[in-house]
Amino acid sequence: MQKKEVWVAYLLWFLLGGLGVHKFYLGKIGMGILYIFTGGLFLIGLLIDLFTIPGQVRRYNEQAAAPKA
């Protein structure tokens, strides 16, 4: 899996956040679909993501780097 970048996640959040594109980028397909149908969880989810994207990217990269069993 390719390492994800915080700046890309923020760019996607800014441009297409209401469609959940940043969630798809981070491999959270279910949340991405939920964002599509709720407009970013009625914009509250987008506000929360503003502050949590660095942690989400870090978690994704740690899971991607973890050895597969």
Q: pLDDT tens across 3-61, in order?
A: 999 999 999 999 999 999 999 999 999 999 999 999 999 999 999 999 999 999 999 99
User: Distance between CA atoms of 49 and 42, rounded to whole angstroms?
Assistant: 13
Question: In this structure, are residues 57 and 1 in contact, taking their beta carbons and an 8 Å threshold?
Answer: no
Question: In this structure, are residues 53 and 13 in contact, taking their beta carbons and an 8 Å threshold?
Answer: yes
User: Distance between CA atoms of 21 and 23, rounded to whole angstroms?
Assistant: 5
Does the pTM surpass 0.85? The reply is yes
